[in-house]
Amino acid sequence: MKESEHPALPVRARGAGASEPGTPIALAVAIGQVGARAPASDGQLGVTLLELLIAITIILILASVAMPLSKVSGKRAKELELRHELRMVRSAIDTFKVDWNREGDTLLGPLCTKNKLTCKEVSGVSGYPKTLEAMLEVKLTGEEATLKGSAIRRYLRKIPGDPMTGKPDWRKRCYADPPDAASWCGDDVYDLSSTSPDVALDGTKYGDW
């Protein structure tokens, strides 16, 4: 047989990268490639943890800012409620004064002159209500009540509570009392204020409102 007639044998490639699959050299190369990718994965994990820490820090900062704001908002809401309650009760006192006004035994108010007995029972000598409860229900005794069938006059539906204390423990002041009276004389209710010693957002005391 001639030399050219022999079948050609495959020529092995030379070099480190020419190993056949499954050989020890090929396995070593594959392991080396996996090991080369490990630092990239660690780097990605490190970036993720850093971003998580930054996000947690931002959330904590926002929470620390939001908590004082929520307290201020709650306090402002109570202050608005206090102003409303004071305005409502003072308006009721003024209306009562017009209807049941008197100076001692001299009856002046329109309801006072028509309901003489009731007038002296519910109003003080200055014409202001003797108590806050007196404004919840005043029973008329005059002829007008009998004719119209309306025997009750109401100035308040209920005695409101002090929003700052949560109780109807108002500080009351008589007509004859000075503005800074420490106690109520008990003769009538000319004005009322909060018993809370706290300071408002504007720097004033609730008791001075």
Ranges 10-19, 110-119, 190-199: which has the least confidence: 10-19
Highest mean predicted confidence (pLDDT) among 44-53, 54-63, 123-132, 146-155: 123-132
In DSSP terms, 138 is beta-bridged to: 153
In whole angstroms, what is the distance from residue 192 CA to residue 183 CA?
11
Residue 162 near residue 170 (C-beta atoms within 8 A): yes
Q: What is the pLDDT of residue 181?
A: 87
Helix (H) or strand (E) holding 107: strand 106-107
Q: Is the pLDDT of residue 106 over 50?
A: yes
- Token pair, residue 204, equals 């004033």
Residue 133 near residue 117 (C-beta atoms within 8 A): no
Q: Is the pLDDT of residue 6 over 60?
A: no
- Provide mean pLDDT across the span 106-117: 93
Q: What is the pLDDT of residue 150?
A: 66
In DSSP terms, 152 is beta-bridged to: 139
Give residue 50's identity as a one-letter amino acid code. L
- Other CB atoms within a 10 A radius of the CB of residue 118 amount to 19
Taking each continuous run of H as one helix and of E as one strand, the counts in the chain are 4, 6
Q: Is the pLDDT of residue 157 over 60?
A: yes
- Provide mean pLDDT across the span 128-139: 96
Query: In this structure, is the dihedral angle defined by the CA atoms of residues 8, 14, 20 and 22, taken in order, positive or negative?
Result: positive
- Provide mean pLDDT across the span 51-62: 83
Highest mean predicted confidence (pLDDT) among 15-19, 57-61, 180-184: 180-184
Q: What is the phi/psi pair of residue 43, to 5°?
A: -65, -45
Give residue 111's identity as a one-letter amino acid code. L
Q: Is the pLDDT of residue 77 over 90?
A: yes
pTM reported for the whole predicted model: 0.66
Q: What is the pLDDT of residue 50?
A: 80
